[in-house]
Chain A
Amino acid sequence: MMRNCTTVQRSLGAWLDAELGEAERQEIREHLEKCPSCLAEKRRLERLQSALGEALRARASGIAFEPFWREVQRRISEREIPWHARFWDWVRSILYPQRLAWVVPVAMVFLVGAFSLREFFPGWLSGSQRTARTVVDSIDGHGLNVALFRESESRTTVIWLFEDHEEEDEASGSSTQGNPF
Chain B
Amino acid sequence: MNAIHDLKQVAPATSLYANRQKVYTKDVYGPVRSIKSAIMVACLAIYYTLPWLRWQRGPGVPDQAILLDLWHERFYVFNIVLWPQDIYLLTGLLVLAAVSLFLVTSLFGRVWCGYACPQTVWTDLFMTVERLIEGDRNTRMKRDAGPWTRDKILRKFATHWVWFWVAFWTGGAWIMYFVNAPVVVVEFWTGRASSEVYAMTLLFTLTTYLLAGWAREQVCTFMCPWPRFQSAMLDDQSLVVTYQAWRGEKRGHGKGEAAEQFGDCVDCFACVHVCPTGIDIRDGIQLECINCGLCADACNHVMEKRDRAPWLITWDTLTRQKAKAAGRTEKLHLLRPRTLIYCAVLTAGIALLVYGVLTRATTNLSIIHDRAPLFIALQKGDIRNGYTIKLANKLQLPAQYDLTVSGLPALQLALPEQAPGFGNQAHLNVPAGEVGTFRLLVQGHIASPAGSRPLLHFTLHNATTGEARDYTAPFFTRAEQD
Tell me, yes or no, whether A binds B: no
B residues sitting closer than 8 Å to A (CB atoms) are none
